[in-house]
């Protein structure tokens, strides 16, 4: 299963990004192969429509869950209809490595 995590940087020590649509990087983590893939977000500076475009980007990677700090109004129903689970993490001090560790429980 693949899980997308929004990240502020391109290393595992970077903190998670509290925004979904305009985060710096998406980290796609594969729970089976334990592989991580960093995708720079092309919609970071977008004026509008960053959320739906980002959903399309991560949905094309066949992720089943998205971990982020917040999800906007426009995409909640979109993500919901794609049967992707949204996980909201409110602790901004968590790093990507922390999240991956928690996912492996």
Partner 1 sequence: MSPRNKKLRKVLNPPPIKGFKPYGPEVNELSGHEPILLHFEEYEALRLCDYDKYNHHQASVIMGVSRPTFTRIYASVRQKIAKAFAEGKQIAIEGGKVYFDSDWYQCLSCKCYFNNPFKDSEISSCPLCGSAKVSSFDIDSTTSDTREFGSCFDMCICPSCGYEATHQQGTPCSTEVCPNCNAKMRRKGRN
Interface residues with partner 1 (CB under 8 A) are: 65, 67, 76-77, 79-91, 99, 102-103, 105
CB of 72 to partner 1, least distance (A): 13
- CB closer to partner 1, 46 vs 87: 87
Q: How far apart are CA 19 and CA 40, in angstroms?
A: 14
Q: How far is the CB of 33 from partner 1 (least distance, A)?
A: 19
Report the C-alpha gap between 44 and 26 in whole angstroms.
11
Strand ranges across the sheet with 65-68: 36-40, 25-30, 2-7, 65-68
Minimum distance between the CB of residue 84 and partner 1, rounded to whole angstroms? 6
The two beta strands, 2-7 and 36-40, are unpaired
- 50 or 99, CB closer to partner 1? 99
């Amino acid at each position: 299963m693949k899980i997308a995590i929004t990240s502020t940087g391109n290393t595992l020590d970077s903190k998670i990004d509290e925004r979904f649509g305009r985060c710096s990087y998406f980290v796609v983590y594969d729970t089976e192969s334990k592989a991580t893939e960093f995708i720079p977000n092309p919609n970071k500076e977008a004026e509008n429509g960053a959320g739906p475009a980002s959903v399309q980007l991560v949905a094309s990677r066949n992720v089943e869950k998205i971990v982020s700090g917040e999800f906007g109004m426009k995409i909640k129903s979109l993500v919901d209809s794609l049967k992707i689970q949204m996980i909201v993490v409110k602790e901004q001090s968590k790093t990507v490595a922390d999240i991956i560790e928690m996912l492996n429980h």
